[in-house]
């Protein structure tokens, strides 16, 4: 059954039907977003909508199983060779005290569900892979230039930068300097950011699962390249592309035609 919002309607988009359908233009990327009760969540929803994605939102007090059911590909998605992407939103507190977040991340990694973690969502990925999230000093509403690593320069997630500097919005007081073995560091703060040797991890990709994490906020105006980064990451995850840099930029149709952002209903039900 096609996942629906609480009102029984999907949040925009079209679906390809029949054997003659032409994906991916006919099948917009579907983003299932876990709302960790942050004031930035609907900025993120609007950003995805402006890129042409279908969005379904679930609060983190629902069961992980309910969200996992929503992540089952539809018939049209299977035909198009696309998968819905789980987006783990920013939020307050520690990932281990954030409702179903940790259970969902652990299940998603085990099942190979395409996943993007942002801020708190990225921290949950770190913890799920055996790393430790700890206080790193409060940084709220600051724009920092972060250092893209050699692995990051070769990775499809950051390929849209094409060697340009990466300025990002930071709103966090927790983080990590040492990523677990399963995560490849794509970007980190430098000494210029006052964070000491090694810096704080700002972006990472899982070595084997289709998962990317960003400690910074791509939906903020303080991250000028945020929309392009979100498009590249979500499109690549939905299509099952590996982390290696692609030979060409993501297709303009890969996330369907951009639409005027609308606020999708939030799923409040729990089981």
Active site residues: 119, 217, 219
Report whether 133 contacts 127 (CB < 8 A). yes
Q: Quote the CA–CA distance of 84 and 74 in Å, as a whole number.
A: 9
Beta bridge partners of residue 167, listed in sequence order: 145
Report whether 202 contacts 215 (CB < 8 A). yes
Residue 28's φ and ψ, nearest 5 degrees, are: -65, 150
Burial of 221 from C-beta contacts in 10 A (0-12 / 13-18 / 19+): exposed
Helix 226-239 vs helix 41-50: crossing angle, to nearest 10: 70
How many residues in total does the chain contain?
271
Residue 247's φ and ψ, nearest 5 degrees, are: -80, -15
Report whether 41 contacts 266 (CB < 8 A). no
Q: Quote the CA–CA distance of 71 and 100 in Å, as a whole number.
A: 15
Beta bridge partners of residue 55, listed in sequence order: 31
Q: Quote the CA–CA distance of 77 and 141 in Å, as a whole number.
A: 38
Question: What is the Cα Rg of the chain in Å?
Answer: 17
Q: Quote the CA–CA distance of 116 and 86 in Å, as a whole number.
A: 6
């Amino acid at each position: 059954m096609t996942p629906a919002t609480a009102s029984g309607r999907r949040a925009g988009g079209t679906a390809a039907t029949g054997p003659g359908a032409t994906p991916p233009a006919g099948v917009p990327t579907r983003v299932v977003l876990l709302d960790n009760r942050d004031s930035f969540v609907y900025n993120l929803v609007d950003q995805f909508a402006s890129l042409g994605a279908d969005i379904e939102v679930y609060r983190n007090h629902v069961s992980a199983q309910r969200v996992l059911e929503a992540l089952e590909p539809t018939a049209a998605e299977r035909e198009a060779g696309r998968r819905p992407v789980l987006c783990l939103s920013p939020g307050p507190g520690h990932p281990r005290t954030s409702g179903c977040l940790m259970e969902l991340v652990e299940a998603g990694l085990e099942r190979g569900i395409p996943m993007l973690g942002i801020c708190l969502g990225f921290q949950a990925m770190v913890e799920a892979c055996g790393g430790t999230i700890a206080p790193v000093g409060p940084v709220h509403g600051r724009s920092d230039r972060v250092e893209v690593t050699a692995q990051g320069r070769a990775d499809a997630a950051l390929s849209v930068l094409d060697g340009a500097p990466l300025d990002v919005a930071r709103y966090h007081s927790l983080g990590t300097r040492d990523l677990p073995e399963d995560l490849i560091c794509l970007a980190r703060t430098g000494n210029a950011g006052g964070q000491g040797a090694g810096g704080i991890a700002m972006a990472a990709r899982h070595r084997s699962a289709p998962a990317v994490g960003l400690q910074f906020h791509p939906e903020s105006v303080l991250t000028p390249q945020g929309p392009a980064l979100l498009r590249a990451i979500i499109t690549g995850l939905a299509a099952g592309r590996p982390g290696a840099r692609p030979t060409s930029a993501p297709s303009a149709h890969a996330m369907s035609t951009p639409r005027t952002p609308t606020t999708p209903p939030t799923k409040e039900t729990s089981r």
